[in-house]
A and B are shown apart, each in its own frame.
Chain A
């Protein structure tokens, strides 16, 4: 009985991460920029958040910890996403390559920084692990359960994204830049500005997702491992969700469930009796996402101009 609650809470935890990051990808793609660097954004902002936990210490009050960590992580995500903005919007570089570079840079830089912080404290222990046992508790509603503040934030973000994208002038203009930038430009919308907005919003949401991921059920993180492809799982969620916030929420729950299984499978008697090695559960989310993508990508409703640098003179 108790296991069911644990399964539900882990499903919600991972669905929270996935929907936040997928919304990030969604904003960038609706503006016309493919953000493959979400993984790197997550790592960098997770590091920023973890360090905030560390330096605030355990004396700070819960509300201070929550606000400081959220603001710092989002800012880190926004700052790191400017790397994508500069390359993809200003310099019209290959967005796939830039995103890949950002992912590698994110993990490498986070490892170097985390190790430098640890080495400065103790030169004999070169580890990339950062602990935040006390700080993490500030985010939990009930002691002993994993229901946390991020779930509320993700819900607000999902509703907010729906309103912004479909009910405001800004959102409709943003989507116009991803569908047909030439037309948007011809009616006086500044395409470059809109794309910057899309990229920076995606940085902020990716940043939230990053700090949420490393606090999901664990109180320390080894930054060498990055975020284990979660940024890409979020992109799969986004594609399965057809770039729409409501469907993204549903897709995130589905993927979150399979990810949660790898955390809790040993707790269920009938799953234990099947005697499946844990490696199978570990790769389940990736297998499911491949299968889901294979069936849903054919009629993809991707923004038409995504990934193509906008060139005024090509109009």
Chain B
């Protein structure tokens, strides 16, 4: 059955669409750099794309790659949370708040309860899920748009986390202490399991990235191989049809956002239980991890396996951004590029449509892009009907 032709394959199409988005995003980013200061723009762009490759020695490179992977794990979890709920027709922008709640719970587990790492991860999962469920209940029973409730919960989570965690900080410090600093808290560090040896002994690399990748496969299986996943997608495709077919559409909304929150909560614990970074109780903005998750979810074509690669890419350029010459540019240039990529990703439906209408095959002249009967549906619809597009 390989008669469809290479460009007709949906997976290939979304891959090409993503590559187009990346190239355009980098191009626009480069133009912005040129505007700011034409002298160092080329080198700055190179620094962003190189990331860890800027080091000369290969041991240093591999160690630095490890750092990027440590942060890729939570990012991948956030993007899985987004894409999972998006497939069910819900835009889980509250992922950032669920992530914060997870971080808060994990650190309570560490400093307050002195639990080990498994317990802390479970606690983070429960906190994230609770925040997701609040959004879900409001959506299902009070008709509150999940985007607006999500944003409100993001800020609520941030302020309450700052308040709660301030009781664990040493006087005069704004960060929570390092886990390794005492025996009681050191057992909460996620084990390295020998993986750090692959990264020149980088002590932060451990099971985290493995857990995240396992979750990517779990989400893929749940969405495309189980009856439950099928029901969830059916609810997203047409709420009323799902209800008519005997599915509990309200319960499905709550469960979906609960699972999405659970994934995001675990994601936060994968970062904060490595000692790689500490919680700053004075921070006044919601961590960017959740919003970058949106970028990587859509860049990965809303496919869990695609998200593994897109998350790595987004984290790669984010880390690369901190290497630019800071006397000329600022590291936020990477955020700008990610944001441009998300904006362009909203057109991937259009790019796929162009494929369908045949600009890449030599047939006929293509129809006017607006007056065509092919409805430009958001991505989940197409993939829902086929049940996974790998």
Q: Which residues from chain A sit less than 8 Å from chain B, CB to CB? A: 36, 83, 87, 90-94, 96-98, 100-102, 104-105, 107-109, 111-112, 115-116, 119-120, 123-124, 126, 128, 224-226, 228-229, 232, 235-236, 239, 277, 279-280, 282-283, 286-287, 289-290, 293-295, 297-298, 300, 309, 311-314
Please tell me which one of the listed residues B284, B327, B343, B349 contacts residue A101 in the complex, with CB atoms under 8 A apart: B343
Residue of A nearest to B295 (CB): A104
Contact A126 B326 (CB under 8 A): yes
Can you list 9 residue pairs at the A/B interface with Cβ under 8 Å?
A104-B294, A108-B332, A108-B336, A109-B336, A228-B285, A232-B147, A232-B151, A239-B148, A283-B160
Within 8 A of A (CB), among B131-168: 138, 142-145, 147-149, 151-156, 159-160, 162-163
Binding site secondary structure of chain A:
helix
Contact A293 B159 (CB under 8 A): no
Residue of B nearest to A231 (CB): B151
List of A residues within 8 angstroms of B343 by Cβ = 83, 87, 98, 101-102, 105
Contact B330 A94 (CB under 8 A): no
Further 19 A-B residue pairs, CB within 8 A, beyond A93-B347, A105-B336, A293-B148: A83-B343, A92-B376, A97-B294, A104-B294, A108-B332, A111-B330, A112-B333, A116-B37, A124-B327, A280-B163, A283-B159, A286-B152, A289-B152, A290-B149, A290-B152, A297-B143, A297-B144, A298-B142, A311-B376
- A277-B163, A293-B144 in contact; A104/B347 too (CB < 8 A)? no
Total CB contacts across the A-B interface at under 8 A: 163
List of B residues within 8 angstroms of A235 by Cβ = 148
How many residues of B sit at the interface, in one of the four size bands? 35 or more
Q: Which residues from chain B sit less than 8 Å from chain A, CB to CB? A: 32, 36-37, 91, 93, 138, 142-145, 147-149, 151-156, 159-160, 162-163, 284-285, 291, 294-295, 298, 326-330, 332-333, 335-336, 338-340, 342-343, 345-347, 349-350, 370-373, 375-376, 378-379
List of A residues within 8 angstroms of B285 by Cβ = 224-226, 228
Residue of B nearest to A95 (CB): B346
Q: Give the docked Cα–Cα distance between A289 and B154 (Å).
A: 13
Contact B294 A123 (CB under 8 A): no
List of B residues within 8 angstroms of A228 by Cβ = 155, 284-285
Q: Give the docked Cα–Cα distance between A108 and B349 (Å).
A: 25
Residue of A nearest to B157 (CB): A283
Please tell me which one of the listed residues B147, B153, B346 contacts residue A87 in the complex, with CB atoms under 8 A apart: B346
Q: Give the docked Cα–Cα distance between A116 and B349 (Å).
A: 34
Residue of B nearest to A116 (CB): B36
- A97-B346, A283-B155 in contact; A112/B332 too (CB < 8 A)? yes
Q: Give the docked Cα–Cα distance between A275 and B352 (Å).
A: 58
List of B residues within 8 angstroms of A124 by Cβ = 327
Residue of A nearest to B35 (CB): A116
Residue of B nearest to A287 (CB): B156
- A93-B346, A311-B375 in contact; A294/B144 too (CB < 8 A)? yes
- A112-B330, A224-B285, A297-B144 in contact; A100/B342 too (CB < 8 A)? yes
Contact A93 B142 (CB under 8 A): no
Residue of A nearest to B285 (CB): A225
Q: Name the distance in Å between B93's Cβ and chain A's nearest Cβ.
A: 6
Contact B340 A98 (CB under 8 A): no
